[in-house]
Structures are given as C-alpha cells and as structure tokens.
Amino acid sequence: MSPLLMGVVNVTPDSFSDGGRFLATDAAIAHGRALVAQGADLLDIGGESTRPGATRPVVAEELARVIPVIEALAGDGVTVSVDTMRAEVAAAAVAAGAAIVNDVSGGLADPRILAVTADSEARYVCMHWRAHATEMQAAPHLEYAGGVVAGVLEELGARLDAARAAGLDDDRLIVDPGLGFSKTAEQNWELLRGLDRIGSLGLPVLVGASRKGFLGALLAAPDGTPRPVGERESAHTALVAVLAARTSPPIWALRVHDVGAARDAVLAVGRMER
C-alpha cells in the first residue's frame, strides 16, 4: 500500500500575496484544489505557522483564516485535516467538515482539544512536540537523555495515553514523530532511521519532512548557508521514494508541499515493486 499524500495548505500571512482576507481565502482554496488535481489524497489546512521563531495568531484570527477554506474544500468532497493546537479551532473545523484534527502539540498546548476531538467523529494526529515555535529550538528542548528515538517514543506514548483517556480509541489515532520540532538536524535523521520503532506503537504513521530545515542544512552551500526553502525538493523527493518503499511498517501518509513531485515518486516506486 502506497502512503497517502497529505497536501499542505498554509493560510498564514507569509502565504498571503496581498494581505487581503478575501483574496487570501480564495488563493488558499484554489491552492487546495490544485493540490487535489496533482494527486493529493487529503489536505492539511493550517492558520498558524509553526516554523521556528513564529509567533501565534489570536484565536479569532486563526478561525477567520481556516474555517472558510475548510468549508469550501470539504464541500468539494475532499478529506480535510485541520492543523491546529486549539480546541476552539478544532471544534469549529470539524463542524465545517474537517475529518482529521492534526495537533502538532499532541494535546500539550491546549489539553481540551483531546475531548473536543473525541466528541466528534474526527481522527486525531498526535505529533511529538515539546514547546511553542518561539522556544522549541532552545537547548533544553533538544536534549533526549536516552537518545531521540527513545525519548520521542516515551513522550508520544504519554500523549497517546492522554488521548485514549479523553475517549479517542486507537482506530482514530495517528502518530507523527514531529520532524523539526525540538530536534537538531542529526536528530531528524535518527528519527527517520528509527521509524520502525515509531511504527511499533501499532498506529498509522504520518511523516512531514517537506521543506524542513534539516534538508536545508544537508544541502548547505560551502560557506554553510542553508539551501533556501524552495530549493530542497529533489532531496525531499528522494526521501518520499524511500519512505514509500517501506513495508514494515508502511507509512500511512506523507505531509508534503509539492504534491506533484511526491505523487510521481510514489507512482514510480509502486510500479517498480509490482
């Protein structure tokens, strides 16, 4: 089974071309539709940037960004995921048609999100996370006493227990190691090599490597300047192919920005193995 492709639709100010709300909404909807045309199986719609150093929008602003986009794309019949750490946004998103709550904080940022999701029919992505974007790359958040894979497994396990206690059964849970969230570049590579152990949790695994800083560091210029975000796709596509070829356990879904490139890679891997 090939991994599903989750196309990223960021409705954040840095993705607004002109700052206008109506045009930003329209542009995000059009982008989501383009990703579906390129082969996205589901769309992840987010109104809060989680890039290192990013500050948070207020709740009303996050709602205004994501809800109209979710309504339109879910209305098209697309499987929509909402990328949020907030219970209010998760509740409104599910009411607007979202089928998945993608909480990068695993319920740590706003614990009420677990019960809100449990009360809906949505599935819940439980990602490994330690701190908000302004502080997540600070030194104490990069320490994993027994190694990053063991640390992520233990902390994710605790968050999954909290999700289950809130009423989310295993058939609604998805896990994600959280590449780039409180991890050094090397720790991201260790996690990718340790995906078997993440799979041993027995739940579908989602992985998001697209455009992340560890790829920029890998591809850095001789003077150490990281490769710009828009020029990391070839390396990412190679990872998509390797992850698509995994069987024990298979990867449930990949969260990607360039759906066309990922779809081509997944098709080639699937064709070769057939």
User: Which residue, 13 or 274, is less far from ligand PMM as judged by CB?
Assistant: 13
93 near 35, Cβ under 8 Å? no
**Counting contacts by CB under 6 A, is residue 233 touching ligand PMM?**
no
Alpha-carbon distance of 18 to 15, in angstroms, equals: 9
DSSP 8-state class, residue 231: G
45 makes contact with ligand PMM (CB under 6 A)? no
CB of 212 to ligand PMM, least distance (A): 7
Amino acid at 129: W
Instruction: Please give the radius of gyration of the chain, using alpha carbons only, rounded to the nearest integer.
Output: 18
Of the candidate spans 186-194, 204-212, 214-222, 235-243, the one that interacts with ligand PMM by CB under 6 A turns out to be 204-212
| Structure letter (DSSP) for residue 217 | H
What's phi and psi for 153, nearest 5 deg?
-60, -45
Cβ proximity to ligand PMM: between 206 and 269 the closer is 206
83 binds ligand PMM (CB under 6 A): yes
| Between 81 and 271, CB nearer to ligand PMM | 81
Candidate residues 125, 156, 251, 256; the one interacting with ligand PMM per rule CB under 6 A: 125
106 binds ligand PMM (CB under 6 A): no
Can you tell me the distance from the alpha carbon of 40 to that of 4, in angstroms, rounded to the nearest whole number?
8
State in angstroms the smallest separation of the CB of 177 from ligand PMM: 8
Going by C-beta distance under 8 Å and a sequence separation of 6 or more, which residues neighbour residue 77?
Answer: none
Q: What is d(CA 100, CA 222) in angstroms, rounded to the nearest whole number?
A: 42
48 makes contact with ligand PMM (CB under 6 A): no
Residue 172 interacts with ligand PMM (CB under 6 A)? no
DSSP 8-state secondary structure symbol assigned to residue 250:
P
Is 255 catalytic? The answer is yes
Phi, psi of 26 (to 5 degrees): -60, -40
Instruction: Tell me if 182 contacts ligand PMM by CB under 6 A.
Output: no
Q: How far is the CB of 246 from ligand PMM (least distance, A)?
A: 17
Residue nearest to ligand PMM (CB): 208
Q: What's the rounded Cα separation, in Å, for the pair 72 and 30?
A: 10
Nearer to ligand PMM, 50 or 182 (CB): 50
Q: Which of 25, 79, 84, 102 binds ligand PMM (CB under 6 A)?
A: 102
DSSP letter for each residue of 11-78: -SGGG-SS--HHHHHHHHHHHHHHHHHHT-SEEEEESS--STTPPPPPHHHHHHHHHHHHHHHHHTT-
Hey, what are 51's tokens?
Answer: 């890039």
Tell me the site size for ligand PMM, rule CB under 6 A.
17
Question: Shortest distance, CB of residue 148 to ligand PMM, whole angstroms?
Answer: 15
Decide if residue 31 touches ligand PMM (CB under 6 A).
no
Residue 255 makes contact with ligand PMM by CB under 6 A: yes
Binding site for ligand PMM (CB under 6 A): 8, 10, 49-51, 83, 102, 104, 125, 127, 176, 178-179, 206, 208, 211, 255
Name the residues annotated as catalytic. 212, 255
